[in-house]
A and B are shown apart, each in its own frame.
Chain A
Amino acid sequence: MNATGLVLGLAAALAIVGALLAVGLRNILHNILGFALSQVGLAGLFLTLGSDFLAVVLILVYVGAVAIAMVYAVMLSHPMDVAPVPRSRLKTAGAAVLALVVAAALWLLVRGAAFPPPSGPLEVLAGVTGHRLVSDYVLAFELISVLLVIAMIGAVMVARSFHGHRARTVGSAPAAAGAPAADPGVGAGEAAR
């Protein structure tokens, strides 16, 4: 096995181990760390296969965002000294069946596919991707941005309705002035009124 093959194997192993940790462990924070590990492994796979840009984006988007997910995980996690809730057997069995189906489908796909050798070096991949996004695929690109705008407006609406609800229940007391600002946007908004 040459050096590239070794690195490829290591990256694949990292991805698999990370994925197993992500589903197998009983602590939600460990799950998220496992997920981050598997993404690093996947990025390693892309990097060894010569797709630098994809690897970087994978780390930027998935591993970088894991920190945020961890903050939420802390809010959802059990205290360390409390025994974890046992797993539901039905859910485990269902997940196993589903995973087997997906694995079988993937295997069929991969077995049927032909892998031609690359026709040339992929030096300008990011530039080409960017160019395609605003020329050939501009409609899809714009649709995705519309989707994101909708999600943002939805988030704002959710936050605003919550804000109004709290203002009603709390009354007109200037709650945000001295309170620790868990949500600075809300705090500043209330202070401004």
Chain B
Amino acid sequence: MSALHALLAGPLGGFGATLLVGVVGIMGYLTFNVLFLIWLERKVAGHIQRRLGPMEVGPHGVLQTVADMLKLLGKQLLTPVATDRFVYLLAPLLVFLPTMCVASLIPLGRAQAFADMPYGLIIIVTLSGLTVLAIFMAGWASNNKYAVLGGMRSVAQVVAYEIPVLLAVLSVVLVAGTTNLHQLVTNPWPRLLGVPVPYGVVEPLAAVIFFIGITAETNRAPFDIPEAESELVGGFHTEYSGMRFAMFFFAEYTNMLVLGALGATLFLGGFRGPFQGAVPLLGPVYLLLKTYLVVFVMMWARWTFPRLRFDQLMSFAWKLLIPLALANLVATAVVLGVLA
């Protein structure tokens, strides 16, 4: 990557080269990641349900999603007549945008983050809440009651679950003393009985709340009521077909990766690991391993728990998660105050 960067820096200048390498790298990797995650999801689902999952295309079906993607690319794009056309076409593009921005903020290694900002963590939390805007635009512009209902549910859900996520993130910020993601990883870890441990060990409740919250924010089961097939046909993406439909899935799986990476950075120590100081290239490897661990647990939860009813979902957020997250934040502050 750095050799390529040096090669491009000649004609383009340092900033231009960073921009080009960054954008192409992130886009390429995210595309690969979506293909991989969809395959993984089907495999995980298969094995949890005591079947094999896709097996036909390529060894163990690894090329199945590539074939699916080619099919979706070739599919006719249907636009219903009575849609709000401009918003309808804008939504699938916009749904991808916040996630892309967030992806560039996750620190990959000791000197590798495309954008290192002092309030990186707050920016990430802010931007990842914007996906819901695009989802609602899609639901409304479709001019279909199921789509509007799905969009409204999505708004209610994301707004409710954003609060516990923010509070959980805030308790980690209190312990770490910084909102810069890079510093958050490289700062000396808190010590438990003399042993330095990642923030997830000293903030287990925050980690659990964060995990539940990001599962809800990515609209995944058991919190997938915005697209509940059995009651809303497909929810907000009912009226989308072909590649436009695929864009919503692209966004969902990319969101999973990015929020998983955020969780790994916050609670599991990010790119830190054994020998990472000596071999900087290990940083991204560790980060990806931890990220995919979080993503795997998200899939595991999806195929284990049944979907919640809408009122259960809302009361779970407002009556349990938010008070718990608040209590955790206060407890963290008190403990830190006593220790200081």
Which of the residues B127, B159, B318 comes within 8 Å of A68, measured between beta carbons? B159
Does B82 count as interface, using CB distance less than 8 angstroms? yes
Find out whether the CB atom of B315 lies under 8 angstroms from the CB atom of A123.
no
Find out whether the CB atom of A56 lies under 8 angstroms from the CB atom of B119.
yes
Does B14 count as interface, using CB distance less than 8 angstroms? no
Report the separation of the CA atoms of residues A185 and B156 in the bound assembly, to the nearest whole angstrom.
Answer: 13
Find out whether the CB atom of A126 lies under 8 angstroms from the CB atom of B119.
yes
Does B229 count as interface, using CB distance less than 8 angstroms? no
- The closest CB in chain A to the CB of B118 belongs to A52
Find out whether the CB atom of B311 lies under 8 angstroms from the CB atom of A187.
yes
- A184 neighbours in B (Cβ, 8 Å): 310-311, 314-315, 318
Which positions 114-133 of chain B face chain A at CB distance < 8 Å? 117-119, 122-123, 125-127, 129-130, 132-133
- The closest CB in chain B to the CB of A43 belongs to B126
Q: A56-B122, A187-B311 are in contact. Are A71 and B137 (CB under 8 A)?
A: no
Does A29 count as interface, using CB distance less than 8 angstroms? yes
Does B143 count as interface, using CB distance less than 8 angstroms? yes
Report the separation of the CA atoms of residues A67 and B156 in the bound assembly, to the nearest whole angstrom.
Answer: 9
Q: A64-B126, A74-B140, A181-B310 are in contact. Are A30 and B318 (CB under 8 A)?
A: no
- A59 neighbours in B (Cβ, 8 Å): 126-127, 130
Report the separation of the CA atoms of residues A63 and B129 in the bound assembly, to the nearest whole angstrom.
Answer: 9
Does A27 count as interface, using CB distance less than 8 angstroms? yes
Find out whether the CB atom of A60 lies under 8 angstroms from the CB atom of B159.
no
Find out whether the CB atom of B87 lies under 8 angstroms from the CB atom of A60.
no
Report the separation of the CA atoms of residues A3 and B162 in the bound assembly, to the nearest whole angstrom.
Answer: 35
Find out whether the CB atom of B140 lies under 8 angstroms from the CB atom of A70.
yes
Find out whether the CB atom of A81 lies under 8 angstroms from the CB atom of B82.
yes
Does B108 count as interface, using CB distance less than 8 angstroms? no
Find out whether the CB atom of A80 lies under 8 angstroms from the CB atom of B126.
no
Find out whether the CB atom of A29 lies under 8 angstroms from the CB atom of B87.
yes
Does A117 count as interface, using CB distance less than 8 angstroms? no
- The closest CB in chain B to the CB of A75 belongs to B152
Does B168 count as interface, using CB distance less than 8 angstroms? no
- The closest CB in chain A to the CB of B314 belongs to A184
Report the separation of the CA atoms of residues A81 and B80 in the bound assembly, to the nearest whole angstrom.
Answer: 14
What is the interface residue range for chain B against chain A?
A: 20 to 34
Q: A59-B126, A64-B126, A67-B159 are in contact. Are A36 and B133 (CB under 8 A)?
A: yes
- B156 neighbours in A (Cβ, 8 Å): 71
Does A33 count as interface, using CB distance less than 8 angstroms? yes
Q: Mark A34-58, 1 if CB is under 8 A from B, else 0.
A: 0010000000000000001100100
Report the separation of the CA atoms of residues A52 and B122 in the bound assembly, to the nearest whole angstrom.
Answer: 10
Does B158 count as interface, using CB distance less than 8 angstroms? yes
Which of the residues A30, A64, A70, A123 comes within 8 Å of B136, measured between beta carbons? A70
Find out whether the CB atom of A71 lies under 8 angstroms from the CB atom of B155.
yes
- A81 neighbours in B (Cβ, 8 Å): 82
Report the separation of the CA atoms of residues A127 and B72 in the bound assembly, to the nearest whole angstrom.
Answer: 49
Find out whether the CB atom of A52 lies under 8 angstroms from the CB atom of B311.
no
- A188 neighbours in B (Cβ, 8 Å): 311, 315, 319
Does B321 count as interface, using CB distance less than 8 angstroms? no
Which positions 63-86 of chain A face chain B at CB distance < 8 Å? 63-64, 66-68, 70-71, 74, 80-81
- B133 neighbours in A (Cβ, 8 Å): 36, 63, 66-67, 70
Does B84 count as interface, using CB distance less than 8 angstroms? yes
- The closest CB in chain A to the CB of B121 belongs to A56
Report the separation of the CA atoms of residues A80 and B85 in the bound assembly, to the nearest whole angstrom.
Answer: 11
- B140 neighbours in A (Cβ, 8 Å): 29, 70, 74
Does B256 count as interface, using CB distance less than 8 angstroms? no
A103 to chain B, nearest CB (A): 29
Q: Mark A119-157, 1 if CB is under 8 A from B, else 0.
A: 000010010000000000000000000000000000000
Find out whether the CB atom of A67 lies under 8 angstroms from the CB atom of B155.
yes
Does B170 count as interface, using CB distance less than 8 angstroms? no
- The closest CB in chain A to the CB of B179 belongs to A126
Report the separation of the CA atoms of residues A187 and B310 in the bound assembly, to the nearest whole angstrom.
Answer: 12
Find out whether the CB atom of B130 lies under 8 angstroms from the CB atom of A64.
yes
- The closest CB in chain A to the CB of B15 belongs to A3
- A80 neighbours in B (Cβ, 8 Å): 82, 84, 143
B181 to chain A, nearest CB (A): 14
Report the separation of the CA atoms of residues A171 and B62 in the bound assembly, to the nearest whole angstrom.
Answer: 60
Report the separation of the CA atoms of residues A123 and B156 in the bound assembly, to the nearest whole angstrom.
Answer: 36
23 A-B pairs within 8 Å (CB atoms) are namely: A29-B87, A52-B123, A56-B123, A59-B126, A60-B122, A60-B125, A64-B130, A67-B158, A67-B159, A71-B136, A71-B152, A71-B156, A80-B84, A81-B82, A123-B118, A180-B310, A181-B310, A184-B310, A184-B311, A184-B315, A185-B318, A187-B311, A188-B319
Known contacts A59-B126, A59-B130; 20 further A-B pairs (Cβ under 8 A):
A29-B140, A33-B137, A36-B133, A53-B122, A56-B122, A59-B127, A60-B125, A64-B130, A67-B132, A67-B155, A67-B159, A68-B159, A70-B136, A71-B152, A80-B82, A123-B118, A126-B118, A184-B310, A188-B315, A188-B319
Closest 3 CB pairs of A and B: A181-B311, A184-B314, A60-B126
